[in-house]
C-alpha cells in the first residue's frame, strides 16, 4: 500500500485565512508512506513545517531519515525546508532529489536561498545531513518503490514524478504548463509518466478565463488536468496547486466542473490539508 497525506496544497504563495480554511493555505508538500520504508516527501513548500512537527513527534528520540522529491526550486516548493524541524538534530538525514540546474549544482541553488541575507542561517549550519541528488528523466529504486522522474513543461526546469510498487502507484505533476493555445493535447512523455496510476496529483491552478490572461505562467487549467487524467487512464485525479486567490467555494465549484468533464471515467477530488488517500483504495481514508 502507498499512503498519501497532504500538508500543503497551494501554489505560488501561502494564503492562510478564513476563506481558505477548508482546503488549506500552505504551499506544496505531500507525505508518501510505504510500509517498512523511510518517508518520501513530495516538495518542501510551507506545509513541510507541519509535516516536520508530526514526524518529530512520531520519531521521539530517533533521528529522521528520508527523501524529498522536489519538483523544482520555485519558492512555493522549497520554502519549508529550513522550517522542517526533524533537520534540527544531529544524526538526521534528508536526501533531496531534484532537477539539475542550469546555474550550477542543485545544492548551490538551494543554498543561495537558505543563507544570509535571504535566511538567517546557512544550509551548512543545519545539524542534519542534507544530501542532493540531481535527477531528470531517469528511473531509480528507493527501497521497495520505483521512482521515475521526467522533465515536464513549466517555467524553468521541473520534474514530474511517478512512484510505484507492487500494490500501488501515483504520479505528481504539481506545476505543469498546459498548451499555450488552450488545446488539450497531452505529450507522450506525460502520458508515459502518468499511465494507469491509481492517483494523479496534478496542477489545476486556473479556470479558462484565468488561463486566457495567464497562459504562459506555467500552469494548467482544470480542463487540462482532466485531459491529462483521461489520456493517462488514471484511477483518481486530485486537483492540486490551488491558486492563492481561490477560496474554498471556488475550489468546490472546480471539483464539480472537473467531475462533469470526467463523466465517471475516474474519480475527482481536490487536495486539502490533512486529506489522506491510500493508493488502490476507492475512498479517502
Ligand atoms: Zn508552484
Ligand atoms: Zn513553479
Q: Is 88 exposed, middle or buried (0-12, 13-18, 19+ CB in 10 A)?
A: middle
Q: How far is the CA of 91 from the centre of ligand 2 (A)?
A: 32
CA-based max dimension of the chain: 54
226-271 pLDDT per residue, tens: 999 999 999 999 999 999 999 999 999 999 999 999 999 999 999 9
SS3 16: coil
CA-wise closest residue to 56 among 81, 87, 28 = 87
Q: What is the pTM of this model?
A: 0.97
pLDDT at 181: 95
* Cα(61) to centroid(ligand 2), Å: 35
- Tens-digit pLDDT profile for residues 52-74: 999 999 999 999 999 999 999 99
* Ligand of minimum distance to the alpha carbon of 217: 2
Q: How far is the CA of 113 from the centre of ligand 1 (A)?
A: 16
3-state helix, strand, coil split of the chain in percent (to 5) is 30, 30, 45
For residue 279, what pLDDT is reported?
86
- In angstroms, what is the span from residue 154 Cα to ligand 2's centroid? 7
Query: Exposure pattern of 133-153 as b/e (b: 16+ CB <10 Å)?
Result: eebbeeeeebeebebbbbbbb
- Which residues lie below 8 Å from residue 223, measured CB to CB, with a gap of 6+? 184, 208, 261
Give the ligand whose atoms come closest to the C-alpha of residue 157: 2
Whole-number pLDDT of residue 285: 47
- Ranges of residues in the chain with a pLDDT under 70 are 280-285
The rounded Å distance from CA 79 to ligand 1 centre is: 11
Q: Which ligand is nearest to the CA of 10?
A: 1
Give the ligand with the smallest distance to the CA of 72: 2
- Please tell me the number of the ligand nearest to residue 76's CA: 1
The reply to whether omega before 117 is within 30° of 0 (cis) is: yes
Distance, CA 157 to ligand 1 centroid (Å)?
12
CA terminus-to-terminus distance, the chain: 12
Place of cell 522550517: 83
> Residue 158: what pLDDT?
98
How far is 264 from 240, CA to CA, in rounded Å?
20
Amino acid at each position: 500500500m502507498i499512503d498519501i497525506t497532504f500538508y500543503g496544497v497551494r501554489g505560488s504563495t501561502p494564503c492562510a485565512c478564513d476563506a481558505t480554511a477548508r482546503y488549506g493555505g500552505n504551499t506544496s508538500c505531500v507525505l508518501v508512506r510505504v510500509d517498512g520504508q523511510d518517508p518520501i516527501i513530495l516538495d518542501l513548500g510551507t506545509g513541510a513545517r507541519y509535516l516536520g512537527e508530526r514526524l518529530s513527534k512520531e520519531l521521539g528520540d530517533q533521528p529522521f531519515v528520508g527523501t524529498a522529491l522536489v519538483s523544482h526550486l520555485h519558492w512555493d516548493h522549497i520554502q519549508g525546508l529550513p522550517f522542517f524541524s526533524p533537520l534540527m538534530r544531529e544524526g538526521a538525514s534528508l536526501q533531496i532529489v531534484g532537477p539539475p540546474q542550469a546555474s550550477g549544482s542543485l545544492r548551490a541553488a538551494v543554498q543561495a536561498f537558505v543563507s544570509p541575507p535571504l535566511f538567517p542561517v546557512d544550509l551548512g549550519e543545519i545539524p542534519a545531513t542534507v544530501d542532493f541528488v540531481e535527477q531528470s528523466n531517469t528511473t531509480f529504486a528507493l527501497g521497495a518503490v520505483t521512482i521515475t522522474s521526467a522533465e515536464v513543461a513549466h517555467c524553468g526546469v521541473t520534474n514530474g514524478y511517478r512512484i510505484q510498487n507492487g500494490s500501488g502507484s501515483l504520479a505528481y505533476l504539481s506545476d505543469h504548463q498546459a498548451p499555450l493555445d488552450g488545446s488539450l493535447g497531452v505529450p507522450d512523455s506525460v502520458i508515459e509518466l502518468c499511465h494507469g496510476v491509481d492517483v494523479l496529483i496534478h496542477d489545476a491552478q486556473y479556470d479558462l478565463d484565468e488561463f486566457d490572461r495567464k497562459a504562459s505562467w506555467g500552469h494548467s487549467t482544470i480542463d487540462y488536468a482532466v485531459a491529462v487524467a483521461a489520456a493517462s487512464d488514471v484511477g483518481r485525479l486530485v486537483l492540486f496547486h490551488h491558486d492563492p486567490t481561490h477560496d474554498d467555494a471556488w475550489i468546490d465549484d472546480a471539483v464539480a466542473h472537473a467531475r462533469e468533464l470526467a463523466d465517471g471515467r475516474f474519480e475527482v477530488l481536490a487536495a486539502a490539508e490533512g486529506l489522506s488517500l491510500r493508493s488502490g483504495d476507492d475512498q479517502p481514508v
